[in-house]
Amino acid sequence: MRTGEDALLVRGLVSDSRAVVPGCLFACVPGASSDGHRFAAAAAAAGAAALLVEHPVPVPLPQLVVPSVRAALGPVGALLAGDPSAELRIVAVTGSNGKTTTSTLIRGVLDAGGWPTGVVTTVGARFGDQLRDTALTTPEAPELQATLRWMLEEGARSAVVEASSIALDMGRLDGLAFEVAVFTGFEEDHLDHHGTLEHYWASKARLFEPDRATAGVVVVDEPWGRRLADQARIPVVRVGTAPGADVRVLDSLSDASGTRVLLADGDGVHLLATSLVGRMHVTNIAAAWAAGRLLGVPAPDVVAGLAAVVPPPGRNTVLRTPGAPLVVVDYAHTPGALELALETARGLADPGGRVHLVLGARGRRDRYKRQGLGTAARAADEVWLTNEGSHGEDPAAIVAELRTGLLGAEATVRTVLDRYEAITSAVSAARPGDVVLVVGRGHETRLQDTADPRDAVHFDDTEVARAALRHEPDAVLDEREAQAS
């Protein structure tokens, strides 16, 4: 951009007026509840050098007018970040469940293959030992582009990006070129945003188009995956357990020590071992294998990379204490994921051991799936219904919808709305040989009960469970009270 004879130097692209720094380009993004054009004056006062707008605003700054600010965020963000995807090998991972785990596995494979790799997932952006927080599973385009530039400057040669359906729908991944796109599976989710299941699927399928990705890996164990593999306009490697898959899982075993997978592809039969616990990871592991081989990583390096991966936090995190029940903390937040998590918990319990489930549902989000979560919870022996973060909704009303799916279940069902008390009580009630499964929040450490995110308080399911196993819950309670005051 130029104004008169003077060149205008812009330092970065920002879409949140609270994050404006001197010299940046402020993007006035129209949103569902507010319009960024209203904050143009505030951005100017904070030092913005120019504005990206859909219509001129009465602010004395240079303004670049475009038909859609949101649609321009990716390309402009890439331009200002120096187009990092042109210098990085980038993999995108999408799916209803397993995105974070599969992204972490692929990062391990690429690292082992000699390609230092950064990863952007729900738990943050990481390269080497460096971790950056991200507010969203897939950051807004300017932040994502800047993050990839940071990784590149730190020495990364490749990156794996978790691609949520909402991010694909809203253009956060525009301006990026993916060498491989991975689809882990599909079930109903996020219909509060997408409206229909078909729109939700189409948002994910958009990733498998020639202008976005060169090749794909698709798990085909359910109809939606098979449909995607059939309709994708890029070459696709099919992964699954049924005959006809290009990478076929022949057998698997998962216990408290990890998961082993025996699979076959065009090069023969391979045995893979990881420290990840749970049958839900079997196709994630197979998909990571397929992605690594597509990217040219030698088979021995793929095997070594998978074996070296440390499970991401809150993904079937297993807590062991001698003479105490086993506790598993997991992010399972859909009925299908909960069903698999309970199956894993049952397999980890001793013969005759009981499975205690601590279950809630997020407020102001995906109300339709609450009954399905309750239905999946019927596989537990003891269910502790609790608050998962009500976001201003009535926690008792949320639990009542969960309880609907549990009507007639053989499980003992209790309602303990205080999440700290629910986790502590479940651990205290369980015996050695039992398993306590705490689901829904996984890695998250902020619990929000009002509509204002500024009211969120520190709460870590793993931390609370560990204290309960040590019979030291008062230490966690004292910390919560100190933070609240």
Annotated binding site: 17, 137-138, 164, 172
The DSSP bridge partners found for residue 209 are none
Q: Which amino acid is at 474?
A: D
Residues 6 or more apart whose CB falls under 8 angstroms from that of 222 comprise: 185, 186, 187
Closest CA to 101 of 302, 341, 315: 315
Please return the burial class of 475, using the count of CB atoms within 10 Å of its CB with bins 0-12, 13-18 and 19+.
exposed
* Dist. CA 327–CA 356, nearest whole Å: 9
- What H or E segment, with its residue span, contains residue 153? helix 141-153
Closest CA to 381 of 408, 411, 352, 409: 411
| DSSP code string of 312-375 | PTTSSEEE--TTS-EEEEE---SHHHHHHHHHHHHHHSPTT--EEEEE---TTS-GGGHHHHHH
Contact predicate 43/31, CB 8 Å: no
Q: Which amino acid is at 144?
A: L
CA 468 to chain centre: 27
Phi/psi of residue 442, nearest 5 degrees: 55, -115
Contact predicate 404/372, CB 8 Å: no
Contact predicate 259/253, CB 8 Å: yes
Closest CA to 292 of 173, 131, 117, 175: 117
| Token pair 């966690």 in the structure block, residue | 476
* Dist. CA 108–CA 111, nearest whole Å: 5
Tokens of 298: 């030698």
Closest CA to 99 of 128, 136, 72, 44: 136
Q: How far is CA 95 from CA 157, 184, 445, in A?
A: 25, 5, 23
What 3-state DSSP class applies to 145? helix
Closest CA to 63 of 27, 30, 38: 27
